Amino acid sequence: MTHGRRRRPQACGQRHPFLFTLMTLTAAAELGLTAFLIGAGNEVGTSSSPGYYSLLILLCFESAWTLLFTAGYLLWIMEGGTYLLASVASSVMWLLLTAVFWGAATGIMHNTRTRSHCLGSPPLSRCRQSRTVEALGWTEFTLCALTLLTTVCWMTTEVKAKGHTRDSRTFV
């Protein structure tokens, strides 16, 4: 019994650090793979198309962008450092912008790939690597959108419970 005190639902806020950890790990994997494909394309001097190469550069930038801010946020949670990065990463606008970038770039990547199926391709082929880049992009988009929804859910729960809102870092 709460003796007149109303308990706050914690379901929205409890997933936030876990989702940021998944976003960080996915961005690191995407960054490594896109950097490898860009380097391999430069070394051989061939790319399936100029649009594909430019899209790889965009996805590499998005991976670095996501990795920088999510890792900064996680460091802030653990040690209290990197306040600027933590406040940017916790904002709804950053999450919305990042989700839109991931969704747009990955959607374009889906339409840009030359072959949709990698039947008969060896396990470590450019076709399968391109499909992995796309899959990681969709995963990052989904994680950003889910983290955005979780943050908004927490903020609305906090407003209803206390009548005011605070920084989203406070529920960690």
What pLDDT digit, counting tens, does each position of 37-78 carry? 898 877 776 666 777 888 999 999 999 999 998 888 888 777
Residue 57 CB partners (closer than 8 Å, separation 6+): 34, 38
DSSP state of 124: T
Tokens in use for 35? 């950097």
Mark out the alpha helices in the chain (DSSP H runs).
16-44, 50-79, 83-89, 92-112, 126-162
The confidence band for 150, taking pLDDT boundaries of 50, 70 and 90, is confident
* 109, 37 contact by CB (below 8 A): no
Domain ranges (residues) in the chain: 15-160
Q: Cα–Cα distance between 21 and 5 in angstroms, integer?
A: 33
Structure-token match 């996915």, residue found? 26
Residue 84's CB: how many other CB atoms inside 10 A?
10
Q: What is the per-residue pLDDT across 8-42, written as a single tens digit (0 to 9) for each?
A: 444 444 557 888 999 999 999 999 999 998 988 77
pTM: 0.77
